[in-house]
Structure 1
Amino acid sequence: MPILNPYLSFRDTARQALEFYHGVLGGSLEIDTFGSYPDMGFEPGEGDLVMHGQLTTDDGLTLMASDTPSSMDYQPAQGISVSLSGNESDRLHAVWDGLSEGGMAIMPLAPAPWGGEFGMLVDRFGITWMVNVNGE
């Protein structure tokens, strides 16, 4: 069965973002840099940038990210949100609190008309998140 995973692009902050998400979500983090693959033709000085990073949490979430090298056009994410939902209220509230640090709530996490709770925020890296705590 195919798996759908968010893959976030940054200009040069993928490492900081992945480390932040690791602190919020837990799990294990793997980071490969452009310098690990010298035959790829990256620009001098970009060897420490993230070619591919993957965060895998103990509860099965996978989030991937990379830096966009200067030789490629970078378009910040627009019209896309990372959505996180489930029944684990305590876990989702903790994730909301963590992602909110240095970010901005668009819609506070609060009771939703369809039941449960829902909120939207933009984190400190400019990524929009939607958090839905399922109702009973």
Structure 2
Amino acid sequence: MTSRLNPYISFPDGTAHAAMEFYQSVFGGDLRVSTFGEYGAPDPSLTDKIMHGMLETPSGFTLMGADTPPGMPHVAGTSISVSLSGDDADELRGYWEKLSDGGTVTMPLEKQMWGDEFGMCKDRFGVDWMVNITAKS
């Protein structure tokens, strides 16, 4: 197996499952989740919380996430931005529409001075996204 780089997002108390299902609805693919309870967490409040989730999509994206365990700080969206880029304009615009729905557009997806279409948004779970559609030559 080759090395790969992918984002790993920590979600606030008990929201990881809903967030990972949301991203699955955006990108499609196979979502696998493991709860703290499956691994024998002694604290009953952790039983149904996500210890590890991984979404692998048909486009080759991998997104991982988990609930933040008690005692660990969580500041939504401040430590990660996820970048989507490529030249499949229809696919990327579709992701943009779904990710920005219910969230906040911080920079509209539009043509930029470097020639590409680019936009930034914060989704409804507080995660920052950047979308870049490469200009056709």
TM-score, normalisation: structure 1: 0.93
Q: Percent identity?
A: 49
Q: Distance in 2 between matches of 1:115 and 1:49?
A: 43
**Residues 19-34 of structure 1 correspond to what in structure 2 (within 5 A)?**
19-34=21-36
Q: Distance in 2 between matches of 1:25 and 1:78?
A: 23
Q: What are the superposed Cα offsets for residues 53-112 of structure 1, whole Å, 9 maximum, x if unpaired?
A: 000001100000000111333333315311000011000000000001110100010001
Q: Distance in 1 between matches of 2:33 and 2:24?
A: 12
The letter for the 1-side match of 2:18 is Q
Q: Distance in 2 between matches of 1:72 and 1:107?
A: 31
Q: How many residue pairs are counted as aligned between the two chains?
A: 134
Q: Which residue of 1 aligns with 2:85?
A: 85
Q: Once superposed, which parts of structure 1, at least 4 consecutive aligned residues long, lie more than 6 Å away?
A: none
Q: Which residue of 2 aligns with 1:94?
A: 94
The letter for the 2-side match of 1:131 is V
Is 2:6 the partner of 1:5? Answer: yes
Q: Which residue of 2 aligns with 1:67?
A: 67
The letter for the 1-side match of 2:48 is D
Q: Distance in 2 between matches of 1:44 and 1:65?
A: 21
> Cα distance 1:10–1:79, how it changes in 2: closer, same or farther (>3 A)?
closer
Shift of 1:124: 0.2
Assess if the C-alpha contact under 8 Å between 2:35 and 2:51 holds in 1.
yes
The letter for the 2-side match of 1:68 is T
Provide the alpha-carbon RMSD of the alignment.
Answer: 1.2
Q: Secondary structure at the match of 1:124?
A: coil
TM-score, normalisation: structure 2: 0.92
Assess if the C-alpha contact under 8 Å between 2:9 and 2:80 holds in 1.
no
Structure 1, gaps ≥5 residues long = none
